[in-house]
Structure 1
Amino acid sequence: MKRKRREFPFFRTCAALAGIALIAGCASAPAGVAPRSNGWVKDEVSDSYVFGYPLVLMDVSREAATGSAPGQAETNTLRHAQSLPPVGASSPPEPNLDTLASSGWFDVSREPVIVALPDTHGRYMDARALDMWTNVVWSTAAPPKERVAGQKAQTIAFVPAGWQGTLPARVKRIEVSTRYVWFLARIQTRGGGDIAAVRRLQRGIRVAPLSAWDEHGKRGAQADASSGAGLSGDPVATGAPGAQVAALDANGFFTRLAQAIDDNPSMPDDPHAIKILGDIGVHAGETAQLPSGSKDAALVAAGFEDGRARVATPPANLLAGNGWLWIGDDAGNYGPDYALRAYAAYTSPGLPTSLDEVRARVAQDSDGHTLNGANRYVIHFTAKQLPPVRGFWSITAYTTDGALDSDGPVRVAFGDRNGARRNRDGSLDVHVSAERPRGGANWVPVPKGDFRLVLRLYAPKPQATDGSWQPPAVERQ
């Protein structure tokens, strides 16, 4: 497989601004030469949209998911999914059929928030916390034996940057630079009667501010009351935050970004991006004042649309093979690679690190034609090409907008833990079709129209992200 070359940082502004000296490091205009036109506005608006998209999406998601209305949970509590998503579900995009999620939004501005995770007694679970820029600040990624066998009981404290207080004994400290943290825990389930066991584990997850814990690290009545145990329903995304962000105009988007930055400052390696935001009139905590002259307004609109298109476009440094695309080792830790960070937020809100999960997508067959349920396909894994995991893997089909098929008779994520039958030579043929194949084994049911596939690898091995492995092509029969 050819690994895509890495390209970052993505800002093109210095090239566009040669001669106007608005950004440090760009060439100054020669004496007596008039500066260039205001064409720089388009590039800076576009770059700033890509830079700010993850924060705006997270802020909209947090607002949608927190509160006392149906489907919401208060800050510093959890909401537990009590069942697998129904047929036709589309929020969040590409609903997960392998796990039940517990999710909550923490506010660490006043004091640390403590999370206690139970012993899963061998059942697979991963948990992670993201800052408001979608960087994974903590996860349960652990040595291979522990990742496969489940998680041991542990307690974590998310503390504001620079906090000097004392935590209870045996509590792991995780410092967070943003005011809010998105916490996600996912527990593997086979559905049906197995869901009851997952619910018991969910009730064992406890969340509370530091003030609700005593000096010995025991939960008091307030901590138990604050856990959010028992709140049911999809905890990952109430409504459609991505659609809400897409509906914002330029002023609405950049004002939302400016207000969110006030509580959630950017990383230390982002000063150039913040400088560019200032150039276009976006300052933390203030209403955006975008360039508004007769020519500037058109350039702002053009740059805004360009930024939106770039966020939805796969960046050059994705891993690729046989039509599949996936994010490699940089997942969850993006640094100044703003294009990759924005694309990950757009396609996979809450994406974990590559130690926890890999998600590969394909929407075309081996001949480059769009996958469609009118056809039958086979994915042939040789014995040496099976997904490299320490946990488990699955393949799920979605409509082109990321929904489960609303017309499908079943809701299936096919994988190695639900009856996969190998051939005599150890290979595996996965049948992809709208109608059940003869024999019914190794079947991924798909919509009757265009669709895409998502291959999930839980606790993947290094070759899944270092470029030495690739999924096989989807072959039309």
Structure 2
Amino acid sequence: MKNHRRWTFPLDAALWMSVSLAGMAVLAGCATRAPDEVKASSPGWVKNQVADAYTFGFPLVASDIARERAGAAPGQGALNTFRHATALPPAGATGWPSVDTLESSAWLDVSADPVIVTLPAAPRGRYLDARAFDAWTNALYSSADTTPYPKTQRIAFVPAGWTGTLPTGATRVETRTRYVWLSVRVRVNGPRDLREARKLQTAMHIDTLTPAKGSVSDPTPVVAGAWGSSTARQPAVPPLPSGLAAATPGAQAEALDANAFFARLARSLDDNPAATDDSHAMSGLADLGVKPGEPVQFKKTDAPLLDSGLSDARERLATVPSNALTKNGWTWFGDGVGIYGTDYTLRAYLARRQVATSTKEGEVKPVARTDSEGHALNGANQYTLHFTPDALPPVRGFWTLTAYTKDGALANGKLPRLSISERDRLRKNRDGSFDVILSAKSPGRVHAANWLPVPEGDFQLALRLYAPKPQASDGSWAPPSVDRE
């Protein structure tokens, strides 16, 4: 669902618009203020305005929290620095963690100088994908879109419109936002394979352009004042709610009240401007009193409308968007992911669940929460996934199936495996098909090779397709149904 509402109503209750001729004027693009006349439906318009503003700004707030959690806030000295995961996630880990890849991540700051990222070649067919997102969670770069097993990469992140000279062979990636989130994932085939993956991590480097001047002819400085020194004058924002330290950035953003949410949004907008196509959304924020780099001060009398608007927006973010693909009890996304344009609902929906989601060429992730009869998946039951030879997950990279709790955490306890993938020695049927057995308790030795342990109680499945083929996102392929035995 795309949001194209014109936000022209101010929040101040004394300035609510009438719903007769004034409402018609809004639809025509020109609003008329009626400060002394308040109609019954005016609060609904204002509430919708707040809900739209929240939906529009949610990805930037979640991204800002993610950067802060990573210790990459201004002045903390951790920007332009890789943080390497050196072990697979433990039992009970939250946030839908991948158990088949090691992640190296970094928050880049391009305000002072272009940032050059150098990555090693993927040896012997080992999957490696570098993904980059701007502060609004829009995809800027993904090596797996074209090459899931890349050669050495040199990527230059520069401010939009920068006209300097880059090192030879560098791929130029422009960003309108000061901050860029970089994630590099390397395939790991179990704990014994960690050492080889770590070798690749040690070969990853981040540099700014200035130290590399010796290899660059006639470099032009970064555009002066692209972001200025706004950090020093930005207003403070309220602290994050206590008790949510282990929650995902999306959950933390959702827990903020209106004052804290919009204050953080205003501060982050100063460094991470919206796109040109977002002019209507920015006009709506200004009507609410939310402006880049300026303090946000709502009136106490506005609290009920703000709370109501946030409630509607949170319900919107909890509802699967209409452009999702749904088959056999699985839900996933194809077109529009990563390149959102003005589809603010889809962008916010995905930011609530994962701060940055790759494009359909980089990764597709169908999720199942119910069985073939529509009942919630539960570890007390045993289920079967039947993969026919002609309907295997279509990938250029690899696929992996993982079970999580209903809250997106790995099962607690020591389990024989946390995922199943095409590398496992699965027992096949005579026709070449195979069945994956899902249950909390062991199905016995006969089925041990094809058993994926699941959490006790309600659970959900995520089938990750790394570097998927087109049929994974155009609706012509779907994962098999989850059948209860």
Partners in 2 of 1:309 and 1:264 — Cα distance? 26
Partners in 2 of 1:25 and 1:215 — Cα distance? 58
- One of 73, 86, 91 as aligned partner of 1:87: 91
Work out the percentage of aligned pairs sharing the same amino acid.
Answer: 49
- One of 359, 363, 380 as aligned partner of 1:353: 359
Post-superposition CA distance 1:130-164 (Å, at most 9, x none): 00000011110354xx42xx110020110012222
Alignment of 1:213-224 (within 5 A): 213-216=212-215
Contact 2:8 2:283 in 1 (8 A): no
- One of 469, 473, 478 as aligned partner of 1:465: 473
**Displacement of 1:290 after TM fit?**
3.4
Contact 2:267 2:293 in 1 (8 A): yes
Distance 1:106 1:30, change over 3 A: closer
1:367 counterpart = 2:373 = yes
1:421 counterpart = 2:427 = yes
Aligned to 1:231: none
Distance 1:420 1:14, change over 3 A: farther
Post-superposition CA distance 1:285-310 (Å, at most 9, x none): 112233543xx421211111111221
Distance 1:378 1:178, change over 3 A: same
Partners in 2 of 1:310 and 1:30 — Cα distance? 29
Aligned to 2:342: 336
Partners in 2 of 1:467 and 1:102 — Cα distance? 32
Post-superposition CA distance 1:417-454 (Å, at most 9, x none): 12223222122211111112232021111011100000
Partners in 2 of 1:29 and 1:162 — Cα distance? 39
Name the stretch that deviates more: 124-133 or 322-331.
322-331
Aligned to 1:223: none
Give, as a single letter, the amino acid of the residue that structure 2 aligns with 1:311. Answer: L
- One of 127, 132, 135 as aligned partner of 1:129: 132
Give, as a single letter, the amino acid of the residue that structure 2 aligns with 1:112. Answer: P
**Displacement of 1:350 after TM fit?**
2.0
**Displacement of 1:412 after TM fit?**
1.5
Name the stretch that deviates more: 278-287 or 21-30.
21-30
Alignment of 1:90-129 (within 5 A): 90=94, 93-121=95-123, 122-129=125-132
1:58 counterpart = 2:69 = no
Partners in 2 of 1:175 and 1:280 — Cα distance? 31
Partners in 2 of 1:297 and 1:445 — Cα distance? 47
Decide which structure has greater helix share.
2
**Displacement of 1:29 after TM fit?**
6.7
1:278 counterpart = 2:286 = yes
**Displacement of 1:212 after TM fit?**
2.2
Give, as a single letter, the amino acid of the residue that structure 2 aligns with 1:61. Answer: A
Gaps of 5+ in 1: 1-6, 219-236
> 1:40 is paired with a residue of what secondary structure?
helix
Contact 1:124 1:187 in 2 (8 A): yes
Partners in 2 of 1:49 and 1:421 — Cα distance? 49
- One of 313, 318, 326 as aligned partner of 2:324: 318
**Displacement of 1:238 after TM fit?**
7.8
**Displacement of 1:283 after TM fit?**
1.0
Give, as a single letter, the amino acid of the residue that structure 2 aligns with 1:99. Answer: T
Alignment of 1:46-445 (within 5 A): 46-67=51-72, 74-90=78-94, 93-121=95-123, 122-143=125-146, 146-147=147-148, 150-216=149-215, 240-290=248-298, 292-293=300-301, 296-438=302-444, 439=446, 440-445=448-453
Distance 1:18 1:259, change over 3 A: farther
**Displacement of 1:110 after TM fit?**
1.1
Contact 2:398 2:422 in 1 (8 A): yes
Partners in 2 of 1:375 and 1:20 — Cα distance? 58
Partners in 2 of 1:448 and 1:178 — Cα distance? 43
**Displacement of 1:12 after TM fit?**
7.9
Contact 2:145 2:467 in 1 (8 A): no
Aligned to 2:12: none
Partners in 2 of 1:45 and 1:388 — Cα distance? 41
> 2:390 is paired with a residue of what secondary structure?
coil
Post-superposition CA distance 1:212-254 (Å, at most 9, x none): 2243279xxxxxxxxxxxxxxxxxx986423322331101000
**Displacement of 1:79 after TM fit?**
0.6
Contact 1:65 1:238 in 2 (8 A): no
**Displacement of 1:19 after TM fit?**
4.5
Distance 1:372 1:471, change over 3 A: same
Name the stretch that deviates more: 179-188 or 245-254.
245-254
Distance 1:29 1:176, change over 3 A: closer
Partners in 2 of 1:388 and 1:291 — Cα distance? 54
Partners in 2 of 1:111 and 1:18 — Cα distance? 53
Distance 1:28 1:154, change over 3 A: closer
Post-superposition CA distance 1:361-392 (Å, at most 9, x none): 01101111110000000011222221111111
Partners in 2 of 1:18 and 1:453 — Cα distance? 50
TM-score, reference length from structure 1: 0.87
Partners in 2 of 1:272 and 1:12 — Cα distance? 6
> 1:425 is paired with a residue of what secondary structure?
coil
Distance 1:11 1:450, change over 3 A: farther
> 2:391 is paired with a residue of what secondary structure?
coil
Partners in 2 of 1:395 and 1:95 — Cα distance? 12
Partners in 1 of 2:248 and 2:399 — Cα distance? 27
Post-superposition CA distance 1:314-355 (Å, at most 9, x none): 111111101111111222111100000011111222211111
Partners in 2 of 1:112 and 1:139 — Cα distance? 18
Contact 1:23 1:276 in 2 (8 A): no
Name the stretch that deviates more: 410-419 or 340-349.
410-419
Aligned to 2:222: none
Partners in 2 of 1:65 and 1:30 — Cα distance? 45
Contact 2:405 2:411 in 1 (8 A): yes
- Count of equivalent residues: 442
Name the stretch that deviates more: 256-265 or 404-413.
404-413
